[in-house]
A = this chain, B = another copy of it.
Amino acid sequence: MSEVKKTELGQLGEFGLIHHLTDNIKLKHPATIKGVGDDAAVLDFSDKKTVVTTDLLLEGIHFDLTYTPLKHLGYKAVVVNVSDVYAMNATPKQITVSLGLSSKMSVEALDELYEGIYAACDYYNVDLVGGDTSSSLTGLTISVTAMGEADASKLTYRNGAKPNDLICVSGDLGGAYMGLQLLEREKRVYSDNPGVQPDLSGYDYILGRQLKPEARKEVTELLQKLEVVPTAMIDISDGLSSELIHICSQSKTGCRVYENKIPIDPTTAMLAEEMGINPLVTALNGGEDYELLFTISQSDYEKFKDAGDVNIYIIGHITEESKGSYLVTNADQEVELQAQGWNPLKNKQ
């Protein structure tokens, strides 16, 4: 058995490490005037508006390295940020990546993480323009900031939804949450019986939703093509309920969404039932699906006939604020939406 090469981070030193990780960056955008290598990156957004967003990923909270391949983790760290840029109806252009690294991490492991970061930069057509690399006494820390640009007239906030607007979602929900449940279950089985191989067969789709999510760039491209500017938009990172409540509270509206309209993949539903979880709950409160949730004027509805390959699901409509925010079940009951989210700050019971 050949040994995996492990170069200690200390062998390269801080500046050596930065060179090692960033020397091969090829900038994609003329608007990226200066990338890595000075006190700050320099960007030119000229006549466009700039959007900026940031997300922090911490070991033990947002990811578990026992079952998360580092390449996927690097990819996902970029995805969760560009997803926020798309949710503004903007186009991502640049990112910065800061890392806190424990000394037990090897250069080769870090290279895998960066392989994922660079793969995402290529797929989403963004330039890596800066960052900060530090040691960490504890786990791996990843902080990404993404910048993007948009015409002022296309920017889409959370606060523009109007009564009678249609509520749209760009893909099925709950898969990422069930992927996480599956990985956690198999981790427990493995820790009880280290001889047993994890049984993940047949679940590629939902594992992919958890481990290698994609941001929905084709949706913002479609909106561009169809010349539709949504009245409000948000990405689904905390679960449908929570994001609907964000839109309704910022837009000062209510909403009705219908159980039978909410897209849930059959694998998600099957595994949820096997594990005694109501599939609807995974869609409402699961989170991390990174689909886009947006509202459109009824007058734009016809345009979506030319949506082509991109599936857009209409799951309900916006109401007056006084009518509240409710899910209408298949039994025609109204259940008030709750902003559960992940609330990772809540003490474990």
Interface residues of A (CB under 8 A from B): 8-10, 12-15, 17, 33-34, 37-47, 49-56, 58-62, 83-85, 87-88, 90, 94, 96, 98-101, 103, 129-139, 141, 143, 145-148, 155, 157-159, 233-235, 250, 339, 341-347
Contact = CB atoms under 8 A, between A and B. Distances in A.
Contacts of A130: 52-54
B139 A87 contact: no
A134 B38 contact: no
A344 B135 CA distance: 6
A138 B146 CA distance: 26
A45 B13 CA distance: 36
Number of copies: 2
B51 A43 contact: yes
Given A56-B98, A103-B345, A51 B61 contact: no
Contacts of A339: 15
Given A158-B37, A235-B39, A52 B347 contact: no
Nearest to A53: B40
A130 B58 CA distance: 18
Given A10-B345, A39-B234, A145 B45 contact: no
Contacts of A55: 98, 132
A38 to B, nearest CB: 5
Nearest to A52: B41
Contacts of A131: 54
A17 B341 CA distance: 13
21 contacts: A10-B347, A39-B88, A40-B84, A42-B155, A45-B50, A46-B47, A52-B94, A52-B96, A52-B145, A53-B96, A54-B96, A54-B98, A54-B145, A55-B98, A55-B132, A56-B134, A58-B141, A60-B138, A62-B134, A100-B141, A137-B138
Nearest to A131: B54
B135 A61 contact: yes
Contacts of A147: 50, 52
A133 B54 CA distance: 10
A50 B147 CA distance: 11
A242 to B, nearest CB: 8
Nearest to A62: B134
Residue of A15, A56, A99 contacting most chain B CB atoms (<10 Å): A56
B134 A344 contact: yes
Given A14-B342, A46-B46, A54 B8 contact: no
Q: What are the 5 A-B residue pairs with the smallest beta carbon separation, nearest first?
A: A138-B138, A40-B53, A143-B143, A39-B87, A40-B51
Given A17-B345, A55-B132, 15 more contacts: A8-B347, A38-B157, A39-B234, A40-B85, A40-B87, A46-B47, A50-B147, A52-B129, A52-B130, A54-B98, A56-B134, A101-B345, A135-B345, A138-B138, A145-B145
A213 to B, nearest CB: 16
A163 to B, nearest CB: 21
Nearest to A9: B345
A250 B13 CA distance: 19
